[in-house]
Amino acid sequence: MPKVVYGGQSYESAGKSVLECLTAQGVSIPSSCHSGLCQTCMMRAVSGAVPAKAQAGLKDALVAQNYFLACTCYPEQDIEAVLAADGLDKQQAMVTKVEYLNADILGIRLKPSQPFEYRAGQFINFFKDADTVRCYSLASVPGIDDELSLHVRKVPGGQVSGWMFESLKAGDAITISEAAGDCFYLAGKPEQNILLVGTGSGLAPLYGIIRDALRNGHKGKISLYHGSYNTEGLYLVDELRKLAQAHANFSYVPCVSEGAAPQGYAYGMVLDVALEGHPDLSGWRVFLCGNPDMVKAAQQQTFLAGASMGEIFADPFG
């Protein structure tokens, strides 16, 4: 009889779903519809095979990370599971470089103390101390970059970002979590067109995703739109332009929304500029990162422009 392992305890499944098995033992698992629709009961398998039915309706990126719906998962072999938001291990890392990417965004490079598995575009938790933690998306790419790379925007009054800008330096030992999140490039559709829209430090995951897609030989169009109020708020402009020159299928449009746009820049809100350039997104994959208001509006508008909800990946942050 297959067993369900959760929280260090082992339970006989007895033909029940993972959700039924755990709740019957008095274990509290978030749930609602009990029919695989609301996804409230999503969990992640740490070990053991997940039946395909338990992943029906989940994005490919979640399936690739062994997420499943507890209410529709009837184990066929022993399975160890954690809640979707839990199970992130911690490890030590050393800061190897701290540099200003612009006046408000800091580039930080980290060397983990142990082998570190991640996908470009995922995020890690960064611990200032045991009780103060923030999550930051990864701009680095496995197989290209030897170290992890973060882009941190200075938040007025921010406990962690303020500390990073004022005190963090090369040689410092810090604590990070393992990588998580579903905003990353997934191979398998090399001809699919990709639209990426970001603001501010939302460029971090997009920069990783783009380079990862190109590294994997992606052949479809890859169109990046990065926006800020003015040119001073943008960064990696030269690097992205060089990348566009080296790859015919990659295009980069830096956008400014205040004042006159210099030559080589587009004028307007980044989402408006992107949709003007791509009014029909049928069949496209879409990545949206940065300002939460922009991301929320972009999710709706790119869907209305034809993108499937299952192909829209969002990573909102300030």
pLDDT of residue 86: 62
How many Å apart are CA 181 and CA 236, to the nearest integer?
Answer: 24
What is the number of other CB atoms lying within 10 angstroms of the CB of residue 11? 17
**251 phi and psi angles, rounded to 5 deg:** -125, 145
What structural domains does the chain harbor? 3-83 (3.10.20.30), 90-177 (2.40.30.10), 194-316 (3.40.50.80)
Which of 107, 209, 189 shows the shortest CA–CA distance to 148?
107
pLDDT of residue 30: 81
Buried b (16+ CB within 10 A) or exposed e, 39-51: ebbbbbbeebebe
pLDDT of residue 234: 97
How many Å apart are CA 208 and CA 108, to the nearest integer?
Answer: 14
Which of 236, 210, 205, 211 shows the shortest CA–CA distance to 223?
210
What does each of the 318 residues of the chain score in pLDDT, given as a tens digit? 899 999 889 999 999 999 999 999 999 888 877 878 777 789 999 999 999 999 998 888 889 889 999 999 999 999 999 987 665 678 999 999 999 999 999 999 999 999 998 999 998 989 888 778 888 999 999 999 999 999 999 999 988 999 999 999 999 999 998 888 889 999 999 999 999 999 999 999 999 999 999 999 999 999 999 999 999 999 999 999 999 999 999 999 999 999 888 999 999 999 999 999 999 999 999 999 999 999 999 999 999 999 999 999 998 875
Q: Are strands 222-228 and 194-199 parallel, antiparallel or unpaired?
A: parallel
Could you write out the three-class secondary structure of the chain? Answer: CCEEEECCEEEECCCCCHHHHHHHCCCCCCCCCCCCCCCCCEEEEEECCCCHHHHCCCCHHHHCCCEEEHHHCCCCCCEEEEECCCCCCEEEEEEEEEEEEECCEEEEEEEECCCCCCCCCCEEEEEEECCEEEEEEECCCCCCCCCEEEEEECCCCCHHHHHHHHHCCCCCEEEEECCECCCCCCCCCCCCCEEEEEEHHHHHHHHHHHHHHHHCCCCCCEEEEEEECCHHHCCCHHHHHHHHHHCCCEEEEEEECCCCCCCCCEECCHHHHHHHHCCCCCCCEEEEEECHHHHHHHHHHHHHCCCCHHHEEEEECC
pLDDT of residue 87: 56
The pTM is what?
A: 0.80
pLDDT of residue 202: 95
pLDDT of residue 296: 93
